[in-house]
Amino acid sequence: IPNTEAKETAKATDGDKSDEEEKEDRAAQSLLNKLIRNSLVNNTNQVEVLQRDPNSPLYSVKTFEELRLKPQLLQGVYGMGFNRPSKIQETALPMMLAEPPQNLIAQSQSGTGKTAAFVLAMLSHVNPVNKWPQCLCISPTYELALQTGKVVEQMGRFYPEVKLAYAIRGNRIEGGSKIQEQIVIGTPGTMSDWLTKKKVVDPKKIQVFVLDEADVMIAMQGHQDQSIRIQRKLPKDCQMLLFSATFEDSVWQFAERIVPDPNIIRLKREEETLDTIKQYYVLCKNKQDKFDALCNIYGAITIAQAMIFCHTRRTAAWLAGRMAAEGHQVALLSGELAVEQRAAIIERFREGKEKVLITTNVCARGIDVEQVSVVINFDLPLDKDGNPDNETYLHRIGRTGRFGKRGLAINMVDSEESMAVLRAIEEHFSKKIVKLDTEDLDEIE
Ligand code: ADP
């Protein structure tokens, strides 16, 4: 469809992506992360803890037994294959399970065990004998709320007396009746509706309030106000818990309005480095020439798995077609795919079913490339103003700390402009990017 292609190209080159689209991306990215993540991320950093009462002892646990969980919940935790608490859970769980309850703001990158932690806290706090909502959890989108619900169901598998309701659009509920489920998970709009207009949940009986994905939440229109409105209806002694993957100032300000007297836990994300990466560039004349160079590279060295980044969907699709015609097993990750489809493609690539993953930038953010030995920038990364995007460059090819295997990065340069971008990136990281002659590839083996 030429029309969308033109739009896409314009978008990519002019960078006139609307704010709305950026925000949707954030929720989609977060969902994608959840769909493709099936284990904890590695992180060797220390957890930073800021206690509300610095004089009280700081407890941290190395085992789930130490938490004195209900046997059904311990069984649920082990049933999920968890052997011991994650780094963030070591300190967050004792705080969340303390008596009297303590408020908590916790920040750590996605995949560090936040969701599992607050789900366990919710399940621990409810009294299944009481047939009314006792824990509320709000998420930025319908899909994210469902994902959290799945964790509640998994972890609560041996504790069937505890029931879960979803306050999400489409879940029609009669005003006047009361909800009996002890845990309610939903989006701010519908949740607010259930509390105030429909009055199917009594806010005064809520003991635990969780706000998940605070950074995504505040990026969405109206969610911030609605969240605050919900929080204001809850009792003073209700436990407030807030989680975020990132911590910009705006998230901070929001967090402080949602969570009074908080304990704060932070786990910095592992630094990415280019130290273990060999970086090269190839001088080309145009797109076709880049493709030929790519074929030469494939002809000369053995590449187990490669990720190739293109600037636009259009180039990505073109390249995927050309490489497939050359007999490569190619997967194409593209913006118009639904998040679930993207997750399936990434999963297949991870399993090695495809050897080449061609993608545009938007889609690739958040993908772990640890197993990928070769990354090719078919186009160099630019930010939305068209300037060299160092951060994205690092994220595409960088490896984290001591877990990183060695890698190879190849940049395709086809104009004075892209050469200038390359030089700027080289300078920024003070790491030489070596010229590669694709007619003579002995040096990279
Ligand atoms: P986050 O909410 O920070 O993104 P999750 O709670 O979703 O992190 O956990 C990320 C992944 O790690 C999930 O697949 C989850 O099942 C798993 N996980 C969480 N806690 C543990 C643990 N203590 N041991 C092993 N795996 C865990």
Q: How confident is the model at residue 4 (pLDDT cuts 50, 70, 90)?
A: very low
- 38 close to ligand 1 (CB < 6 Angstrom): yes
- Ligand 1 centre distance from Cα of residue 64 (Å): 14
Which tens digit of pLDDT belongs to each residue from 243-285?
Answer: 999 989 999 999 999 999 999 999 998 888 898 889 999 999 9
> Which 8-state DSSP code applies to residue 205?
G
The reported pTM is: 0.87
- 40 close to ligand 1 (CB < 6 Angstrom): yes
- 315 close to ligand 1 (CB < 6 Angstrom): no
What mean pLDDT comes out for the span 3-24?
45
Cα 370 to Cα 28, 125, 193, 410: the distances in Å are 22, 38, 44, 16
Among 36, 82, 185, which is best to mutate for testing ligand 1, by the most ligand atoms less than 8 A from CB? 82
> Which 8-state DSSP code applies to residue 109?
-
Q: What is the pLDDT of residue 33?
A: 85
In whole numbers, what is the pLDDT of the chain averaged over residues?
Answer: 89
3-state secondary structure of 372: coil
- 216 close to ligand 1 (CB < 6 Angstrom): no
| Greater pLDDT, 412 or 398 | 412
Handedness of CA 19, 20, 23, 29 (dihedral sign): negative
Buried b (16+ CB within 10 A) or exposed e, 377-414: bbbbbbeeeeebbbebbbbbbbbbeeebeebbbbbbbb
CA–CA dist 208, 227 (Å, integer): 14
pLDDT above 70 for 24:
no
Which tens digit of pLDDT belongs to each residue from 149-205?
Answer: 999 999 999 999 999 999 999 888 877 788 999 999 999 999 999 999 999 999 999
| Percent of the chain topping pLDDT 70 | 89
Q: What is the pLDDT of residue 119?
A: 98
Among 36, 37, 139, which is best to mutate for testing ligand 1, by the most ligand atoms less than 8 A from CB? 37
Q: How confident is the model at residue 26 (pLDDT cuts 50, 70, 90)?
A: confident
Q: What is the pLDDT of residue 390?
A: 94
Q: What is the pLDDT of residue 368?
A: 64
Residue 53: CB atoms within 10 Å: 9
Is residue 150 within 8 A of residue 192, CB to CB? The reply is no
Q: What is the pLDDT of residue 233?
A: 97
Which residue, by CA, sits nearest to atom 15 of ligand 1? 39
Q: From the alpha carbon of 108, which atom of ligand 1 is closest?
A: 3
Which residue do the tokens 């046997």 mark? 71
Q: How confident is the model at residue 421 (pLDDT cuts 50, 70, 90)?
A: very high
What mean pLDDT comes out for the span 281-307?
91
- 154 close to ligand 1 (CB < 6 Angstrom): no
- Ligand 1 centre distance from Cα of residue 328 (Å): 35
69-73, 91-95, 305-309: range with lowest mean pLDDT: 305-309
Which residue do the tokens 């910095």 mark? 268
| Percent of the chain topping pLDDT 90 | 64
DSSP 129-192: TS-S--EEEE-SSHHHHHHHHHHHHHHTTT-TTS-EEEE-TT----TTS----SEEEE-HHHHH
Which tens digit of pLDDT belongs to each residue from 365-403?
Answer: 656 656 788 999 999 999 889 899 998 899 888 876 555
- 86 close to ligand 1 (CB < 6 Angstrom): yes
CA–CA dist 427, 395 (Å, integer): 17
Among 115, 118, 350, which is best to mutate for testing ligand 1, by the most ligand atoms less than 8 A from CB? 115
Q: From the alpha carbon of 37, which atom of ligand 1 is closest?
A: 14
- 190 close to ligand 1 (CB < 6 Angstrom): no
- 113 close to ligand 1 (CB < 6 Angstrom): yes
Q: From the alpha carbon of 212, which atom of ligand 1 is closest?
A: 2
Closest C-alpha to 212, from 150, 123, 162, 141: 141
CA–CA dist 114, 30 (Å, integer): 13
pLDDT above 60 for 56:
yes
- Ligand 1 centre distance from Cα of residue 111 (Å): 6
What mean pLDDT comes out for the span 111-134?
97
- Ligand 1 centre distance from Cα of residue 53 (Å): 28
- Ligand 1 centre distance from Cα of residue 79 (Å): 13
- Ligand 1 centre distance from Cα of residue 276 (Å): 28
Q: What is the pLDDT of residue 23?
A: 57
- Pair type for strands 183-186 and 164-167: parallel
- Ligand 1 centre distance from Cα of residue 41 (Å): 8
pLDDT above 60 for 17:
no
Which residue, by CA, sits nearest to atom 19 of ligand 1? 113
Q: What is the pLDDT of residue 231?
A: 98
Q: What is the pLDDT of residue 205?
A: 97
CA–CA dist 242, 437 (Å, integer): 52
At position 116, the amino acid (one-letter code) is A
CA–CA dist 245, 350 (Å, integer): 24
Q: What is the pLDDT of residue 11?
A: 41
What mean pLDDT comes out for the span 49-60?
86
Which residue, by CA, sits nearest to atom 24 of ligand 1? 82
Q: From the alpha carbon of 84, which atom of ligand 1 is closest?
A: 23
- 239 close to ligand 1 (CB < 6 Angstrom): no
